[in-house]
């Protein structure tokens, strides 16, 4: 239990924004007053937006009712021209770092992305989660991980774990709103049951991979090293015949086919989730040749992958234009987490990288490109998070009924018109599984946590200008661009060695100090206390973290060499019998056991780099 101190806490988040938290004894109740000079003006503006929204909703409502009415009442109303729902193209790229896009001054050339961003809105206060599955889960649900049970790490291929079935996904709601939904690329949100697959969660078609980091040509994917299998699926069927085609190019071909065959009068949701530029670092040779000037071998391959991606996205936009989608389309581009400096990525000048809660792990490359934007060619500094796309896209589709239960906000007004941003805070995560006994955090609760919060738990929060980190949030090194052949090794873990033992709280004003160089935790204990209280409040709304152990039945060796659902429908009784039989098969294979032992050692080594 949290022993939150009673009384009233005031926190000046910015000159214009003050938050007063009141906790009274005997009551499990907290009241939060937000007083804000800007709020009054904002309210007026929001009010007029409201009236507009109501107007639009009424219009839409009339449009939707139009057909029903003529049936039910026999009244013949001409169908009212309803506002056309825009085509929504969401492009997620894998592991592109903050310093890996041309317009951030990168040594990697991305001319197409630079131009699309320059003609649209660049999101320069945009956050995602530090690793793959978490960012994707929030995109699909609009909820923080503490509300989906996916607090801890990625979903591993053999984990019987996927998105909660009772939370509607973004594509499921878009289908209800009349959209056709297609997914191309990497899923990485679990596949233990058929109902967990993209086609089980709202996508009407799917070509891509279910795991996180397969080979870009052979589509062989290994979990650690002891379980390997084929992972390329067309719908629910393994797509053996496409083996050998490079992932980015294969996916772009599928996107073109979709655009050529889809009627632009029906609204389209296309989720293109490229595995570039995630490891393994592979790319067709001619893209590699563009990068001979890169003396670092990993960076050269990584750059080639991004060049190929850049070129491919140009082709997608070309196809949007030639197939008649472009004028009514909204293209959103986002990285899923920071770059991995050990594999060619760069987040310079930000601190830390993929897998950490430092800015380098979570402040992402992102932009919106669309003829429908009210302002173009601008930079937005609105605080936006990956969980915001869910309500934002539903809003654009005209089907956002409520914010209840959501952690995301509809930020379209901020992006398109520069209206005040509804978001002032981001809970990056509270990961209870990260708390390991024996870590040198004896001071974690009483001293560092002021009795409010066990600071040995990995957690991170942004509130206004402030960012608070607790627990083991990953290596916080600043790793300069890898101009040298040697790679980033000599920069790695420097920061860890400098930190005093038992340090578990950091505080930064990230508006004035985006590189997190000045830790204010000791200088501003009142701010630390307030933010720890916020963490404790969020924690009270958390669901239990689901982190089941790997299931040996998932091994592709038992399923024709393919990563595929291995559990049936919920409550399937035959499952147990089949299960026992196949377990016996595994047990009798002594050679397999020996193989597994050797593989396990290898996989431990691999996993340690994952966080």
Ligand X SMILES: *[C@@H]1O[C@H](CO)[C@@H](O)[C@H](O)[C@H]1NC(C)=O
Q: Which is nearer to ligand X, 250 or 281 (CB)?
A: 250
| Rg over CA atoms, the chain | 25
Q: What's the rounded Cα separation, in Å, for the pair 253 and 315?
A: 9
> Is the distance from CB of 102 to CB of 109 less than 8 angstroms?
yes
Q: Does residue 172 belong to the site contacting ligand X (CB under 6 A)?
A: no
> Is the distance from CB of 155 to CB of 145 less than 8 angstroms?
no
Q: Does residue 251 belong to the site contacting ligand X (CB under 6 A)?
A: no
Q: Which is nearer to ligand X, 53 or 543 (CB)?
A: 543
Q: Does residue 457 belong to the site contacting ligand X (CB under 6 A)?
A: yes
Task: Tell me which residues in 520-579 interact with ligand X (CB under 6 A).
Answer: 536, 539, 542
Q: Does residue 465 belong to the site contacting ligand X (CB under 6 A)?
A: yes
Q: Is 228 a catalytic residue?
A: no
Q: Which is nearer to ligand X, 394 or 461 (CB)?
A: 461
Q: What's the rounded Cα separation, in Å, for the pair 112 and 437?
A: 49
Task: Tell me which residues in 330-369 interact with ligand X (CB under 6 A).
Answer: none
Q: Does residue 2 belong to the site contacting ligand X (CB under 6 A)?
A: yes
Q: What's the rounded Cα separation, in Å, for the pair 210 and 566?
A: 13
Segment contacting ligand X by CB under 6 A, of 159-167, 194-202, 241-249, 300-308: 241-249
Q: Does residue 227 belong to the site contacting ligand X (CB under 6 A)?
A: no
Q: Which is nearer to ligand X, 172 or 253 (CB)?
A: 253
Q: Is 308 a catalytic residue?
A: no
Position with the least CB separation from ligand X: 512
Q: Which is nearer to ligand X, 244 or 571 (CB)?
A: 244
Q: Does residue 250 belong to the site contacting ligand X (CB under 6 A)?
A: yes
> Is the distance from CB of 332 to CB of 370 less than 8 angstroms?
no
Candidates 57, 115, 220, 245; binder of ligand X (CB under 6 A) is 245
The helix or strand, by DSSP H or E, that contains position 238, with its residue range, turns out to be: strand 237-238
Q: Does residue 608 belong to the site contacting ligand X (CB under 6 A)?
A: no
Residue with tokens 């013949």: 76
> Is the distance from CB of 129 to CB of 429 less than 8 angstroms?
yes
Segment contacting ligand X by CB under 6 A, of 8-16, 142-150, 158-166, 308-316: 8-16
Beta carbons within 8 Å of 548's beta carbon, 6+ residues apart: 159, 160, 161
Looking at 9, 87, 132, 233, which residue is catalytic?
132
Q: Which is nearer to ligand X, 97 or 464 (CB)?
A: 464
Q: What's the rounded Cα separation, in Å, for the pair 69 and 48?
A: 30
DSSP letter at 393 equals: H
Q: Which is nearer to ligand X, 39 or 542 (CB)?
A: 542
Closest CA to 352 of 213, 495, 503, 507: 495
Q: Does residue 425 belong to the site contacting ligand X (CB under 6 A)?
A: no
Question: What angle is formed at CA 76 by the lines to CA 75 and CA 82, rounded to 5 degrees?
Answer: 110
The helix or strand, by DSSP H or E, that contains position 180, with its residue range, turns out to be: strand 180-186
Candidates 25, 74, 244, 437; binder of ligand X (CB under 6 A) is 244
Q: Which is nearer to ligand X, 332 or 456 (CB)?
A: 456
Q: Which value, to the nearest 10 degrees, does the dihedral of the CA atoms of residues 144, 148, 151, 154 take?
A: -100
HSE-CB of 117 using CA atoms within 13 angstroms:
20
Q: What's the rounded Cα separation, in Å, for the pair 237 and 197?
A: 11
Q: What's the rounded Cα separation, in Å, for the pair 77 and 69?
A: 8
Segment contacting ligand X by CB under 6 A, of 87-95, 326-334, 509-517, 575-583: 509-517
3-state SS, residue 428? strand
Candidates 215, 454, 475, 477; binder of ligand X (CB under 6 A) is 454
Q: Are strands 227-230 and 425-431 parallel, antiparallel or unpaired?
A: unpaired
> Is the distance from CB of 159 to CB of 550 less than 8 angstroms?
yes
Beta carbons within 8 Å of 500's beta carbon, 6+ residues apart: none
Minimum gap (Å) between residue 9 Cβ and ligand X: 14
Q: Does residue 509 belong to the site contacting ligand X (CB under 6 A)?
A: yes
Q: Which is nearer to ligand X, 215 or 454 (CB)?
A: 454
Q: What are the respective helix, strand and coil percentages of the chain, to the nearest 5?
A: 35, 15, 45
Minimum gap (Å) between residue 544 Cβ and ligand X: 8
Q: Does residue 196 belong to the site contacting ligand X (CB under 6 A)?
A: no
Which DSSP string corresponds to 137-178? Answer: HHHHHSS-GGGTT--SS---TTS---S-TTSPPHHHHHHHTT
Q: Does residue 512 belong to the site contacting ligand X (CB under 6 A)?
A: yes
Looking at 188, 233, 262, 385, which residue is catalytic?
188
Q: Which is nearer to ligand X, 175 or 542 (CB)?
A: 542
Segment contacting ligand X by CB under 6 A, of 6-14, 192-200, 271-279, 296-304: 6-14
Segment contacting ligand X by CB under 6 A, of 11-19, 169-177, 183-191, 298-306: 11-19
Q: Does residue 70 belong to the site contacting ligand X (CB under 6 A)?
A: no
Q: Which is nearer to ligand X, 79 or 526 (CB)?
A: 526
Residues 364-393, mask of contacts with ligand X (x by CB under 6 A): ------------------------------
Minimum gap (Å) between residue 243 Cβ and ligand X: 8
Q: What's the rounded Cα separation, in Å, for the pair 566 and 431?
A: 28
Beta carbons within 8 Å of 111's beta carbon, 6+ residues apart: 102, 310
Q: What's the rounded Cα separation, in Å, for the pair 79 and 69?
A: 10
Q: What's the rounded Cα separation, in Å, for the pair 524 and 529?
A: 9
> Does residue 611 have a cis peptide bond before it, meaning omega lies within 30 degrees of 0?
no
Minimum gap (Å) between residue 253 Cβ and ligand X: 4
Q: Which residues pair with 330 in a beta bridge?
A: 88
Minimum gap (Å) between residue 34 Cβ and ligand X: 14
Q: Does residue 234 belong to the site contacting ligand X (CB under 6 A)?
A: no
Q: Does residue 453 belong to the site contacting ligand X (CB under 6 A)?
A: yes
Segment contacting ligand X by CB under 6 A, of 242-250, 265-273, 322-330, 492-500: 242-250
Task: Point out the residues that are catalytic.
Answer: 132, 188
Which residues form the interface with ligand X (CB under 6 A)? Answer: 2, 12-15, 242, 244-245, 250, 253, 453-454, 457, 464-465, 509, 511-512, 536, 539, 542
């Amino acid at each position: 239990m949290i022993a939150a101190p009673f009384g009233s806490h005031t926190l000046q988040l910015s000159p214009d924004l003050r938050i007063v938290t009141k906790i009274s004894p005997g009551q499990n109740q907290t009241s939060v007053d937000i007083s804000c000079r800007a709020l009054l003006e904002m309210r007026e503006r929001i009010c007029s937006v409201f009236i507009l929204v109501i107007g639009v909703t009424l219009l839409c409502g009339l449009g939707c009712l139009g057909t029903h009415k003529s049936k039910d009442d026999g009244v013949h109303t001409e169908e009212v021209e309803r506002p056309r729902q825009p085509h929504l193209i969401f492009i997620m790229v894998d592991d592109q770092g903050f310093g890996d896009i041309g317009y951030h001054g990168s040594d990697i050339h991305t001319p197409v992305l630079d131009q699309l961003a320059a003609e649209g809105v660049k999101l320069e206060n945009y956050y995602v989660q530090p690793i793959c599955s978490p960012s994707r889960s929030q995109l699909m649900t609009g909820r923080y991980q503490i509300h989906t049970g996916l607090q801890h790490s990625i979903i591993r291929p053999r984990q019987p774990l996927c998105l909660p079935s009772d939370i509607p996904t973004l594509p499921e709601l878009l289908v209800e709103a009349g959209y056709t939904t297609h997914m191309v690329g990497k899923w990485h949100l679990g596949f233990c049951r058929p109902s967990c697959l993209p086609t089980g969660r709202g996508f009407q078609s799917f070509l891509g991979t279910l795991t996180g980091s397969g080979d870009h040509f052979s589509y062989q994917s290994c979990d650690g090293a002891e379980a390997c299998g084929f992972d390329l699926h067309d719908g629910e069927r393994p797509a053996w015949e496409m083996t050998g085609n490079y992932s980015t190019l294969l996916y772009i071909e599928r996107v073109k086919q979709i655009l050529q065959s889809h009627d632009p009068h029906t609204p389209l949701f296309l989720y293109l989730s490229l595995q570039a530029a995630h490891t393994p670092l592979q790319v067709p040779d001619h893209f590699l040749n563009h990068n001979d000037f890169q003396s670092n071998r990993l960076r050269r391959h990584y750059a080639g992958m991004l060049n190929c991606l850049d070129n491919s996205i140009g082709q997608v936009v070309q196809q949007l234009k030639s197939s008649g989608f472009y004028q009514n389309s909204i293209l959103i581009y986002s990285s899923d987490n920071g770059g991995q400096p050990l594999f060619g990525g760069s987040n310079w000048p930000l601190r830390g990288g993929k897998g950490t809660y430092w800015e380098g792990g979570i402040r992402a490359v992102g932009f919106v490109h669309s003829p429908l934007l009210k302002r173009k060619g601008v930079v937005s500094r609105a605080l936006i998070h990956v969980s915001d796309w869910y309500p934002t896209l539903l809003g654009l589709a005209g089907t956002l009924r409520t914010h209840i239960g959501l952690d995301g906000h509809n930020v379209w007004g901020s992006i398109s018109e520069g209206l005040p941003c509804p978001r002032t805070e981001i809970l990056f995560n509270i990961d209870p599984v990260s708390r390991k006994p024996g870590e040198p955090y004896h001071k974690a609760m009483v001293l560092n946590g002021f009795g409010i919060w066990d600071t040995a738990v990995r957690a991170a929060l942004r509130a206004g200008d402030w960012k608070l980190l607790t627990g083991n949030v990953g290596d916080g090194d600043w790793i300069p661009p890898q101009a040298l052949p040697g790679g980033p090794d000599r920069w790695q873990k420097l920061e860890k060695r400098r930190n005093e033992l038992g340090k578990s709280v950091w505080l930064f004003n990230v508006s004035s100090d985006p590189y997190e160089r000045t830790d204010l935790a000791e200088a501003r204990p009142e701010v630390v206390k307030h933010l720890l209280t916020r963490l404790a409040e969020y924690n009270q709304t958390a669901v239990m973290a689901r982190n089941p152990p790997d299931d040996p039945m998932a091994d592709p060796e038992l399923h024709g060499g393919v990563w595929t659902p291995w559990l049936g429908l919920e409550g399937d009784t035959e499952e147990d019998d089949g299960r026992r039989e196949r377990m016996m098969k595994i047990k009798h294979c002594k050679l397999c056991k020996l193989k597994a032992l050797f593989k396990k050692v290898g996989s431990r080594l691999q996993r340690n780099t994952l966080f």
